[in-house]
Amino acid sequence: MTRWTDLPTHRAWLQQHAESLLAFGRRTAAPGGGAYWLDAVGRPETDRGVQTWITGRTVHVYSLGHLLGIPGARDVAQGALDGLVGPDAPLRDVENGGWFGTAYPDGTHSEGKEAYQHAFVVLAATSAVRAGLDGARALLDEATRVYLEHFWDDEAGLSVDTWDTAFTTLDPYRGVNANMHSVEAMLAAADVTGDPAWLRRAARIAEFVVGQAESHEWRIPEHFGPDWVPDLELNRDRPDDPFKPFGATVGHGLEWARLLLHLEAALDGVGLSSQTDWYAAAAALFERSVADGWDADGAPGFVYTTDWDGKAVVRQRMHWVVAEAVNTAAVLQARSSRAGDEVAADRYADLYARWWDYADRYVLDHEHGSWFHELDPSNRPAGTVWPGKADLYHAFQTTLVPRLPLAPSMATAVAEGLLRP
């Protein structure tokens, strides 16, 4: 049987779905710049203000939409970008540098500066440069400078996590989530700037995470102290925290597996080597995540988190987890085919199709559009952790990853005409 990723009809469906997602999110751009959190039917939740991580993701997604030739996408991308660059950008901290987490309607801002948010500014800037948006190059120059100056710890080979607003006091917490999205941003920055130092930084982060995962039966510790010793008990009392949940996060095991294969391809492309077997590590992370997370409680879907023995803790189904499962199955299929292991490729292709079937049945909102961001353990729409449909980032990328090579990164690949029709 022909694999779904090889079917022109499936790729056409992915393109159609991409366009429907862009249509759903078209109201996200705020009048003064930045992007709003969206509710269940795509209306902006203006009371939340504009947030840097949503704004960065929106610039990235709609820059890709513009590169795909979708009318109207550039305007949305530019509107979001205007929240990050220029003297009047509501999210830009002109006094202290960097970007506020949130700019509220009353003109106030949230406290603190987070690596997670700043990684998405870097990603946004790279995609915006490829899309030719106004101010994109200036944003990329500023974002990479701020990231290297304040968040990159060259001695550790990892990103720190959170500063106070003035960049004077560094929180002792260290986190893998910010480092994961830093790797994503670094891969894109390497492509757009042509500087392989970004790939070396990404490899250092990934090597650390692979070592930690291997030491914990391929479950990734997410939370660390300032000495980079894992804190495996953090947030046991509030395990469903949206950014710092207790235990192992199933979706991050999947997402890291995918990023390792993108990193491997990027390093190979510029002749950089590593002692890490990225393919083997990706496969191990994938297998652990699937074994722990899929059908873990007798119902279809991936649970959100598990404890360190693989037992489900938070059984909610998050849309981004199945999105990453779909993407990672696709890239593992491609990588195993390249390795000549067609048996493995067939299995990954079967899982890819199975998880799209699950997403279509439960996660895609066929009435109002986009994806339900959270389902309860019975696969009914919920909103205890992720109310509404905040943004399109994870869902939209599922429409591109299966049609793109492992390298270069998304915006560069689309700009260079590497998307399979």
Residues with a catalytic annotation lie at: 252, 394
CA distance 45 to 108: 17
Q: Per residue in 160-172, is it b (16+ CB within 10 Å) or e — as a string?
A: bbbbebebeebee
Q: Half-sphere exposure of 376 toward its Cβ, with a 13 Å CA cutoff?
A: 6
Alpha-carbon gap, residue 338 to 216, rounded angstroms: 29
Nearest to 323 by CA among 386, 397, 236, 272: 397
Taking residue 158's Cβ as centre, other Cβ atoms within 10 Å add up to 24
**Nearest-angstrom CA–CA distance, 29 and 58:** 8
What CA–CA distance (Å, rounded) separates 53 from 179? 14
Rounded Cα distance between 391 and 61, Å, is: 9
CA distances from 342 to 210, 317, 347 (A): 25, 31, 9
Contacts of 390 (CB under 8 A, 6+ apart): 37, 38, 54, 373
Q: What is 113-155 written as a DSSP string? A: EEHHHHHHHHHHHHHHHHHT-TTHHHHHHHHHHHIIIIIEETT
Q: CA-to-CA distance for 259 and 184, rounded, in angstroms?
A: 7
What 73-77 contacts at long range (C-beta under 8 Å, 24+ apart), as own/partner pairs, is 73/22, 74/131, 74/133, 75/29, 76/22, 76/25, 76/26, 76/28, 76/29, 77/128, 77/131, 77/133
User: In one letter, which amino acid is 237?
Assistant: D
Paired strand residues for 64 = none
